[in-house]
């Protein structure tokens, strides 16, 4: 069982990730990952800080006005590694409507210099397992 302080810190990490992606704060978004962190999903793959910054810049252009909403967070902790999963509702305003994508994150989150960071963040179709 993950303790409440770690749970809240990881929920905050997820919120910062969403907010920074949605506001195109690419360097701050990359800061939610370890220096060698990896993002992998339908929009692309990025590994390492510079690639993550470039990816976030591209995301803002590919999905202008897009917003991430996550919920149903599940945690499995093993020391300084947390396997985390949650649902993602990604909403993108387009020509008088909002397109909606329902996806799921599966993450490896580790302590990096005392802070929880994504080592691996994978997003894809929802799966039950």
Number of domains in the chain: 1
Tens-place pLDDT, residues 24-35: 999 999 999 999
Is 16 inside a domain boundary? Answer: yes
Is 129 inside a domain boundary? Answer: no
Band (pLDDT 50/70/90 cuts) for residue 1 is: confident
| CATH assignment at residue 103 | 3.10.450.50
Is 75 inside a domain boundary? Answer: yes
Strand ranges across the sheet with 115-124: 44-47, 33-41, 115-124, 97-112, 81-94, 67-78
Domain that holds residue 69: 4-124
Tens-place pLDDT, residues 94-103: 999 999 999 9
Band (pLDDT 50/70/90 cuts) for residue 128 is: low
Is 27 inside a domain boundary? Answer: yes
Is 15 inside a domain boundary? Answer: yes
Is 41 inside a domain boundary? Answer: yes
Tens-place pLDDT, residues 42-96: 999 999 999 999 999 999 899 999 999 999 999 999 988 999 999 999 999 999 9
State both tokens at 71: 């919920």
Is 62 inside a domain boundary? Answer: yes
Is 78 inside a domain boundary? Answer: yes
pTM: 0.93
How high is the mean pLDDT of the chain?
A: 95
């Amino acid at each position: 069982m993950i303790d409440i302080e770690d749970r809240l810190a990881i929920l905050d990490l997820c919120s910062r990730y969403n907010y920074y992606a949605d506001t195109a704060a690419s360097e701050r978004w990359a800061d939610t990952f370890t220096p060698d962190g990896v993002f992998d999903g339908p929009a692309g793959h990025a590994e390492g800080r510079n690639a993550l910054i470039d990816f976030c810049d591209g995301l803002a252009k590919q999905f202008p006005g897009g917003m991430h909403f996550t919920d149903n967070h599940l945690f499995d902790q093993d020391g300084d590694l947390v396997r985390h999963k949650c649902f993602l509702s990604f909403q993108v305003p387009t020509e008088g409507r909002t397109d909606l994508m329902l996806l799921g994150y599966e993450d490896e989150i580790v302590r990096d210099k005392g802070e929880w960071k994504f080592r691996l963040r994978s997003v894809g179709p929802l799966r039950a397992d």
